[in-house]
Amino acid sequence: MTWFTSPADNLLCRCLGISIMVWFTLLFVFIIVPAVLGVSLGIRRLYIVTLLKVFEWATSRMEMGAKEKNQQLYKPYSSGIIAKEPPSSWQQEIQDLRGSASCLRSEPEFEMADIFYFCRRGVESIMDDEVTKCFSAQELESWNLLTRSNYNFRHISLRLTVLWGLGVLIRYGVLLPLRVTLAVTGISLLLVLTTLVGLLPNRELKFFLSEKVHLMCYRICVRALTAIITYHNRENKPKNGGICVANHTTPIDVIILANDGCYSMVGQVHGGLMGMIQRAMVRSSPHIWFERSEVKDRHLVAKRLGDHVADKTKQPILIFPEGTCINNTSVMMFKKGSFEIGCTVYPVAIKYDPRFGDAFWNSSKFGMVNYLLRMMSSWAIVCSVWYLPPMNREEGEDAVQFANRVKAAIAAQGGLVDLIWDGGLKRAKVKDAFKEEQQKLYSKVLVGEQDQGDQSDNKLVEDENPKEDKSHQDSTEVQ
């Protein structure tokens, strides 16, 4: 059979071939080569500056158009819809509601005014729940040409609508294919090169090449997200024989930190593509992967972590003690397992700029593929990373107190809210033991045990933690 092709078909194939060749040439010269060398050409920062100017113009046009048409724009509240007073003890708040007359009574007893305290606290929790809002997307004050927030902004004028449509075309027609190509390139290189490095017999040469390969592949993956990362206080970077702990917003926290240094990862064994990556990585560097049955064995987990940090030639362990992703506004309770090892802890604070894209992964709403698609179709990932001074457990300090001290330091540096609540509340209900503690506090008010009842909510959670199932804590932490 003879195939006949027209000159137009030959021209089309030739143009397509040239376009693909130019695409990969530009990709290799301007992105992959700088990533391998660890240098930046400044293209991403110029891109971010341009985006900020476009956002400012769009926001001013939006406000002007709304004013001309007398429209009410959606604005998320930023300071809360209820004014909360500074926290005080149970006794003081209930005493204020009872009034001075109750102080004259010789024996404390129940009063109807006590009901108002619980009603007020209940309504505050319903209207402005500090736990639930940690697991939803962070709202913005201005429009960033994405439909995640301020849905009615793009409908105000024709110019804004056209600008929004142009943004969709750029994000899905240009940025998404480019980022997918880079991500596939980075992951493929990681699989192939780590497998080859793992075959080397020389231990020192293997670790040296493994570090270079990991840094190169992670830098390519960072460029696949158009990530602009600013690292502060690099003199405090984690060192071998220690544990690096950080607040957790998204699975790409690993890539953000590994772009500036190599870490030993801790996690559960997976199947599929993730399992292939884990097996390739562990051949060239000492990562810690647990089987499901091993994760539940708290002593085995502690032993393997302890053995790792005891070897000063091994890279620092990277752990996210919250055990779940929080929406970049707060830091929730740290699991104590990481702070029982008895080694130096290197705190790291990570803060994302939500104007260019929402980095938070709401795993209850989006699957991993859907989440990655949203990330790669956003404008960029912009964040700051602060390396805090290393911290050690003080004399007389238990693991819970040490974890809370590290958490407070991370929250203060990153401008995040320091919360006492367990991130497990994302999927689970409040434990009955905590409710019972609250009831005991009120009973102490009724029987007059004022000297024992003056405890803060933070103390309650610290006392609550040791009663939890420790195997569940470690299981959540290493996932």
Lowest model confidence (mean pLDDT) among 66-75, 232-241, 330-339, 377-386: 66-75
Lowest model confidence (mean pLDDT) among 97-106, 156-165, 432-441: 97-106
Residue 367: inside a domain, yes or no? Answer: yes
8 A C-beta contact, residue 414 and residue 349: yes
Amino acid occupying residue 354: P
Lowest model confidence (mean pLDDT) among 8-22, 298-312, 385-399: 8-22
Q: How confident is the model at residue 147 (pLDDT cuts 50, 70, 90)?
A: low
Looking at residues 6-21, what average pLDDT do you find?
71
Whether 81 has a pLDDT exceeding 50, the answer reads no
pLDDT in the model for residue 90: 59
Residue 205: inside a domain, yes or no? Answer: no
The tens digit of pLDDT for each residue in 245-276 reads: 999 998 889 999 998 888 988 877 777 777 78
Whether 216 has a pLDDT exceeding 80, the answer reads yes
Cα of 450 vs its chain's centroid, Å: 41
Whether 333 has a pLDDT exceeding 80, the answer reads yes
What whole-number distance in Å separates Cα of residue 100 and Cα of residue 386? 50
More confident residue, 214 or 143: 214
Domain that holds residue 347: 225-429+464-477
pLDDT in the model for residue 199: 86
Residue 287: inside a domain, yes or no? Answer: yes
Looking at residues 311-340, what average pLDDT do you find?
86
Whether 80 has a pLDDT exceeding 50, the answer reads no
Q: How confident is the model at residue 383 (pLDDT cuts 50, 70, 90)?
A: very high
Cα of 452 vs its chain's centroid, Å: 38
Looking at residues 356-378, what average pLDDT do you find?
83
pLDDT in the model for residue 350: 94
Whether 169 has a pLDDT exceeding 80, the answer reads yes
**Mean pLDDT score of the chain, rounded to an integer?**
75
Residue 415: inside a domain, yes or no? Answer: yes
Residue 201: inside a domain, yes or no? Answer: no
Q: How confident is the model at residue 405 (pLDDT cuts 50, 70, 90)?
A: very high
Whether 411 has a pLDDT exceeding 80, the answer reads yes
pLDDT in the model for residue 7: 65
More confident residue, 90 or 419: 419
What is the total count of domains within the chain?
1
**Which position has the token pair 């009120």?**
442
More confident residue, 2 or 99: 99
Residue 118: inside a domain, yes or no? Answer: no
The string of DSSP letters for 7-63 reads HHHHHHHHHHHHHHHHHHHHHIIIIIHHHHHT---SHHHHHHHHHHHHHHHHHHHHH
The tens digit of pLDDT for each residue in 280-313 reads: 888 888 888 877 666 666 777 778 888 888 888 8
At 105, give phi and psi (nearest 5°): -80, 145
Residue 364: inside a domain, yes or no? Answer: yes
**How many other C-beta atoms are found inside a 10 Å radius of the C-beta of residue 203?**
9
Residue 352: inside a domain, yes or no? Answer: yes
